[in-house]
Structure formats: C-alpha cells, structure tokens
Amino acid sequence: MTSARNRRPLIAAGTLLGIGMGGFVDGILFHQILQLHNMLSARRPVVNLVNSEINMFWDGLFHALTWTMTALGIALLWRAGQRPEVPWSTRTFLGSLAFGWGLFNLVEGVIDHHLLHVHHVVESLGPSVWDLVFLASGLVLIALGGLLIRRDRHSAATRPGAASTP
C-alpha cells in the first residue's frame, strides 16, 4: 500500500524562506554593505540626520518583515518535517527557495522601484537599467525555481511506488 506524497508543505516552507533570504540579501547587500539605497532614499535622500534616521527606521521595518518571513518559513519547514507524507527533496526545496527569492525581487521591484518610487537599485542614478535587471533577476529565479519543482515532480512520479502531488 502506497501513501500519497505531498510536496506542498515543503514548497510553502521553501518559498517563504526564499522570500526572507531575498529580502535579507537586498537589505544587507544593497542597503548596508554597498549603500546603494535605503527604503525611502528616493523620497528622503540621506542628506541630513533626520532623513538618515527616517531611512534607518524604515530599513528596520523592512528587515523585521524579512525576518518574519524567514521565521514563518522555518516554522513551516519544521511542521513539514513531522509529516510522513512530505518527501524530502533537495531539488524541490532549492526550487522553492529560488521561487520565493524571485517572487521577492519581482514584487518588491515592481512596488518600490516602479509604482511607489520610494527607492531605486542604484539611488544615485534614479530610475535606471539596474531596476530592470532587478526585475529580470526575479523572473529568472521564478522560472528556475518552477523548473526545478516541476522536474522533481516528474522524476518522483516515475520512481517505483511513489505517488506525488504538486
């Protein structure tokens, strides 16, 4: 007797972890290390202490959100690990991480860079090709993640005795 395999909990956990990781890379690399922009740097350029404090506050909220996504992803991963019908698959997990990271880049890029104009990837350039590269990286990561998840579903279906759901 074969029980149905359910990859959804692993995909959900990996996607939330990918969103959190994408946010941390953005915040740590672009905001802090490279100092290319802050959360509100297009609206509040860092030219005085008040604007710097406002940007630091909003960057902190941004990091709190990415931490929350990561914590939720860990909780979901923990719960998935307790379920015997959830198959542990590196390909599905890595695909979900890439999918989540791409989703972060795409949503954050569209909303913050293009709709609200609160900041741009390289603030000193304003709207630039780097904003489009950021969006493109999101699309590439989503496509890569989806491909890895789909390929793992198809390979799981061909394994003897393995029934799989998305």
**pLDDT over 90, % of the chain:** 83
Is 125 a domain residue? yes
**Hey, what are 160's tokens?**
């003897």
Domain assignment present for residue 50? The answer is yes
Owning domain of residue 113: 4-155
Token reading at 89: 């698959």
163, part of any domain: no
Residue-averaged pLDDT of the chain: 91
The answer to the question of residue 77 being in a domain is: yes
**Which tens digits make up the pLDDT trace of 129-151?**
999 999 999 999 999 999 999 99
Task: Look at residue 2 in the predicted model and tell me its pLDDT.
Answer: 47
What pLDDT score does 34 carry?
A: 95
Could you read off the pLDDT of 60-111 as tens digits, one per residue?
A: 999 999 999 999 999 999 999 999 999 999 999 999 999 999 999 999 999 9
The verdict on residue 83 lying in a domain is: yes
CB 104 within 8 A of CB 138: yes
Residue 85's closest CA among 8, 159, 13?
Answer: 8
- pLDDT band with cut points at 50, 70 and 90 for residue 166: low
Model-level pTM?
0.88
Q: What's the pLDDT score for residue 156?
A: 60
Structure tokens of 30?
A: 């672009």
Which residue has 């915040």 as its token pair?
27
Residues 6+ apart with CB under 8 A from 134: 105, 109, 113, 121
Residue 162 belongs to some domain of the structure: no
42: confidence class by pLDDT, cuts 50, 70, 90: confident
Instruction: Tell me how long the chain is.
Output: 166
Q: In the chain, what percentage of residues exceed pLDDT 70?
A: 90
Q: Are 162 and 4 in contact, with CB atoms under 8 Å apart?
A: no
Report d(CA 103, CA 141) in Å as an integer.
Answer: 8
Number of folded domains in the chain?
1
The model's confidence at residue 157, banded by pLDDT at 50, 70 and 90, is: low
Query: Closest Cα to residue 24, out of 97, 122, 113?
Result: 97
d(CA 146, CA 140): 10
Residue 126 lies in a domain: yes
Q: What whole-number distance in Å separates Cα of residue 29 and Cα of residue 36?
A: 9
User: How far is residue 106's CA from residue 79's CA, in Å, rounded to a whole number?
Assistant: 28
Residue 166 lies in a domain: no
